[in-house]
Amino acid sequence: MKLFLTSVGVLLALSSQANTHKKLTKSDYVSQWKAEAIRQMQEHNIPASITLAQGILESASGNSDLAVKGKNHFGIKCHGWTGDKMYMDDDAKGECFRVYKSAGESYEDHSLFLNKYDRYAFLFDLDQADYKAWAKGLKKAGYATNPQYPQLLIKLIEDLDLSQYDKGGAIPEIIAQPELVAARETMSNKHNITIEGKRTKYVVAKKGDTFYKISQEFGLTLGQLYRYNDFDTQKDFLEEGDKIYLKPKRGGWFKKKKEITVKEEITLNQFSQQQGVPAKTVARINGFTDKNVVLSVGEKVTLR
């Protein structure tokens, strides 16, 4: 009986929420979400115009059932999601979609989603101002099944002049929305992301951090976290100040040959973590055959 009453309560709450929703126009949607789209661009390198156009298209300008009831503005399906879910007909009947506590959380998860999966990796090598290439790339990567998806995004961007938000600069001054503040405090703001090169990203460990905590915060498996980093085999715990990479390290992103003089005795793995280059790349360039090699003070190591 308690379970039944709880379910009824949830349904009534969703119904009430839908009935009180004020329908938004496309312009209303842009005014409400442009600041968040710019923030996401600055933190995650996704053009603000693309984020806004996808939000408008996928959520019917924030008016769809999925957006109103599930706070899901980007039509992201479950894909291993462990949070709340909604089931709706889409490409097939009764498909599973992610449900968020706030629409701001949906924006953050959209950015993390594109950064997480390898099939979207090539997008981050595109010019951030080239919204046409991004729109076509999203379709190529399989974000949507509609063959007209790129054209629909491009038309929205051009009709609403969304590309103006890709120029960066100050975030527009708007009244802070409590749900955005809450979402950012509970998600990416736990750790500040640093970007090296075009798309290599890492965070710096804080006191009390663990491998598991970092993996959960950024939606990674422990296997991925270990794969992206060159931790020494005996390293069981994170220490304050450790770099933890959230994407594969991109060896050779330096424009010119770079040589480093070792200042303290250090293992190859530790050195690769400091420099943001995979240990196997450093070993190959410098002819190291032992992956457990210890670099000596004064030794010169080439990174490219």
**3-state SS string for 9-56:** HHHHHHHHHHHCCCCCCHHHHHHHHHHHHHHHHHHHCCCHHHHHHHHH
Domains and CATH numbers, the chain: 22-190 (1.10.530.10), 193-304 (3.10.350.10)
CA pair distance 251, 217, nearest whole angstrom: 25
DSSP assignment of 173-187: --PPPHHHHHHHHHT
pLDDT in the model for residue 256: 61
Question: What single DSSP character describes residue 65?
Answer: H
Vertex 59 angle, CA 56 and 63, to 5° = 105
CA pair distance 126, 257, nearest whole angstrom: 24
pLDDT in the model for residue 168: 65
pLDDT in the model for residue 191: 82
First to last CA, the chain: 67
CA pair distance 86, 75, nearest whole angstrom: 11
Q: Where are the alpha helices (DSSP H) in 60-202?
A: 65-70, 103-116, 131-141, 149-159, 178-186
CA pair distance 173, 35, nearest whole angstrom: 8
pLDDT in the model for residue 292: 79
Cβ atoms of 231 and 269 within 8 Å: the answer is yes
Please name which of 36, 41, 40 lies closest in space to residue 128, comparing C-alpha atoms: 41
β partners of residue 201: 195
pTM given for the model: 0.57
Ranges of the chain with pLDDT below 50? 1-16, 18, 173-178, 181-189, 253
pLDDT in the model for residue 197: 63
Tokens (6 digits) for 99: 């449900």
282: enclosing H helix or E strand:
helix 279-286
pLDDT in the model for residue 21: 65
